[in-house]
Structure 1
């Protein structure tokens, strides 16, 4: 049984949960099992982008012991557009 961590955060609040999951559990399944959508209204655990240790992964990525699944927020603005706006200022 892999022991994993699930993390999610906003600018003012972050949560890290430790879970033991069954062999063969995928990143998306673990996100749903985390229950973080109860602590963060509006978080869509069925569609939010996921990563493991800073690298995006597909929903069906099978987890290994000690993996840290990261649930990402959608970008508010494209990074290239943000840079353009800063340059204009």
Structure 2
């Protein structure tokens, strides 16, 4: 069976592998047979967060034909904190829903 394996080592970089696996293969077996650990050896020492088609899964999940197996990397910054910092840099008048106003119009209209 054919399974696609995706990993993004950095923003805007995506690596993709097409794996030809025996039927009934688990996620752990697929990772062991893939070249991902050869290219990114630091992944072996980490606890991996995995998903199939965007839904988190464990290493014992049995893969099916044409599944998309994804390895997720951790967030470096909490999205809420990043949004708060970006808003404080831009200011209330230039950010968000009320940034575009008509001449002579009220904010948000």
**TM-score class normalised by the smaller sequence:** 0.7 to 0.9
Please provide the CA RMSD for this pair.
Answer: 2.0
User: With structure 2 as the length reference, what TM-score do the two structures score?
Assistant: 0.67
Q: Which has the higher contact order (CA 8 A, sep 6+)?
A: 1
**Structure 2: runs of 5+ lacking an equivalent:** 90-109
Paired position in structure 1 for 2:63: 63
Which has the larger displacement, 79-88 or 42-51?
Answer: 42-51
Q: Distance in 2 between matches of 1:43 and 1:72?
A: 11
Q: Distance in 2 between matches of 1:70 and 1:19?
A: 13
Aligned pairs, how many? 88
* Structure with greater Cα Rg: 2
User: With structure 1 as the length reference, what TM-score do the two structures score?
Assistant: 0.80
Q: Which whole-Å deviations, capped at 9, do the CAs of 1:11-36 have from their partners, x for residues lacking one?
A: 25322111121222112321232121
